[in-house]
Chain A
Amino acid sequence: MSNDSTTDRPSPLHEQHVALGAALTGFGGWQMPLRYDSDIAEHRAVREAAGLFDLSHMGEIEVSGPQAAAALDYALVGNLSAVKTGRARYTMICAEDGSVLDDLVVYRLDNDHFVVVANASNVEVVLTALTERVEGFDAVVVDRSEETALVAVQGPRAEEIVTSITAAADVPTVREMPYYASARATVAGATVLLARTGYTGEDGFELFVPVEQAAEVWAALLEAGQPFGLVPAGLSARDSLRLEAGMPLYGHELDTTTTPYEAGLGRVVKLEKTDDAGAPLPFVGRAALESRRQSAPARVLVGLRGTARRPARAGYDVVLPGAGTVIGSVTSGAPSPTLGHPIAMAYVTPEFSAEGTELAVDVRGRQEPFVVAPLRAYVRPTS
């Protein structure tokens, strides 16, 4: 059932959602659309045509100044100074003990200008940590979340839809834009930061729009997308899409008890990053992450494929079939609309993490069969 707590902030597109008949839900301190009509239909539209998402709950934190890149190299686990202007990088901000404070997408807009996109529930934590960590660097941190709306067009028709309302001069830029890149563009008359990023496993774009122009950009995308089969899509579809694509969700696969290594995301930790003289570059969490990399993790994140019909849900125990010995815990689970069977992600002890291992999940007192499978249950067909 939806949680319509009145303390949650409305999105800048709240009126649009109400007019579209959305069921709203509390998420990270915001009141956001859970679904507009059928969440399965919204999910399928994104896989087959396109979906339009309001992601204005996400936080946008600007880091700028002559030492912005160096400051982020120190503050985050990634090597941000190696990111070229116009490109983006998936990375994390960790505590001194190596645990994950948030997972982030960082866009480099210019040599000395970055935008850090944080999860709604973590904006304050990330803002505070970044502000502390850039002290001593010639860089400033500014929270732009209040003045920024974020809308996403995701799906195989996304490029056609976005270019149909993009200023002619910017159309080639949009067409040629690689995955994990961004550029300024004029879309529906508004100057936006247009990025080829997303959280659905499909091609698509995310548009950072000044809040005053959010409604007109949203309406223009909805109208332009209709002939292509675009529908507005809520957080329910977003969650099932990212789960199929094997993408972690903070608070589920990642939290302050997890390091990137357990989550299978050790690749984002750039222990090899060095300063100009070739010396290892210090960053927050480095010592803990170095020692963590040496030791075998106590648990690892795996994908699970259900061979019966009942889905596993977050928090359910993963057990050995028959015996019922608990060997792990489900972090996310749902029936996969694309694949037609239950899928899940779970932390399990390493000896039971090999693909094909037959396990069970305790679904409210009854064991349901699951098999260890790749984290990414769905890989989009290459065109």
Chain B
Amino acid sequence: MSNVPENLIYTAEHEWLDDGTPATVGITANAAEALGDIVYVELPEVGTAVTAGEVFGEVESTKSVSELYSPVTGTVAEVNDSVVDAPETVGSDPYGAGWLVKITVTETGPTLTPAQYTELIGG
């Protein structure tokens, strides 16, 4: 059932990131599924400093609001404006077109392997 790609890194706050430079960040399929239809995404501007474990944005579904926690410390290098205009993309393609931001990493935070994340979500 669970969709946890092997090539990504995860956090306990249900974000994923890749090992690129800068690192691409998004929310997991499991998180998107639990949220329901996503109707609003708020992301920081390019150049914003973010800190591992701290809030950098929010996603809102018809029923609830969830804050986005940065998996790493660094600076926002790029923002996916297309998900701001079409928030449903986050739910339909969370690991692809639904990515959120790219961050130039200065320091990593606590992360989970695909196996650890799969275990966390009981999948």
Contacts and interface: CB of A to CB of B under 8 A. Distances in A.
B37 interface: yes
Given A240-B62, A334-B63, A40 B40 contact: no
Interface string A213-242: 000000000000000000000001001100
Nearest to A40: B37
A1 B42 CA distance: 19
Given A1-B34, A2-B34, A311-B39, A335 B65 contact: no
Nearest to A240: B62
A313 to B, nearest CB: 7
Given A313-B65, A364-B65, A39 B36 contact: yes
B36 A311 contact: no
Contacts of B62: 39-40, 43, 236, 240, 334-335, 337
B29 to A, nearest CB: 14
A309 interface: yes
Interface-central residue, B42, B58, B62, B65, by most chain A CB under 10 Å: B62
A40 B88 CA distance: 11
Contacts of A2: 34
Contacts of B39: 40, 311, 335
B65 A39 contact: no
A1 B63 CA distance: 9
Interface string B89-101: 0000000000000
B60 interface: yes
Contact of B60 (A34, A35, A38, A310): A310
A1 B64 CA distance: 8
Interface-central residue, B42, B58, B60, by most chain A CB under 10 Å: B60
Main secondary structure of the interface of A (DSSP, over half): mixed
Nearest to A310: B40
A362 to B, nearest CB: 14
A311 B40 contact: yes
A40 B63 CA distance: 10
Contacts of A1: 34, 64
A248 B99 CA distance: 38
A335 B42 CA distance: 15
Interface residues of B, number: 12
A38 B40 contact: no
Interface string A17-43: 000000100000000001100111101
Interface string B58-70: 1010111100000
Interface in B48-94: 58, 60, 62-65
A20 to B, nearest CB: 15
Given A1-B64, A364-B65, A236 B40 contact: no
Contacts of A337: 62
A17 to B, nearest CB: 16
A236 B60 contact: no
Nearest to B31: A1
A211 B60 CA distance: 37
A35 B40 contact: no
A310 B42 CA distance: 9
A349 B48 CA distance: 40
Contacts of A310: 40, 42, 60
Interface of A: 1-2, 23, 34-35, 38-41, 43, 236, 239-240, 309-311, 313, 334-335, 337, 364
23 contacts: A1-B34, A1-B64, A23-B34, A34-B36, A34-B63, A35-B36, A38-B37, A39-B36, A39-B62, A39-B63, A40-B62, A41-B37, A43-B62, A236-B62, A236-B63, A239-B63, A309-B40, A310-B40, A334-B62, A335-B40, A335-B60, A335-B62, A337-B62
Interface of B: 34, 36-37, 39-40, 42, 58, 60, 62-65
Q: Please give me the 4 A-B residue pairs with the lowest Cβ-Cβ distance, nearest first.
A: A40-B37, A335-B39, A39-B62, A39-B36
Given A39-B62, A311-B60, 15 more contacts: A2-B34, A34-B36, A38-B37, A39-B37, A40-B37, A40-B62, A43-B62, A236-B36, A310-B42, A311-B39, A311-B40, A313-B65, A334-B63, A335-B60, A364-B65
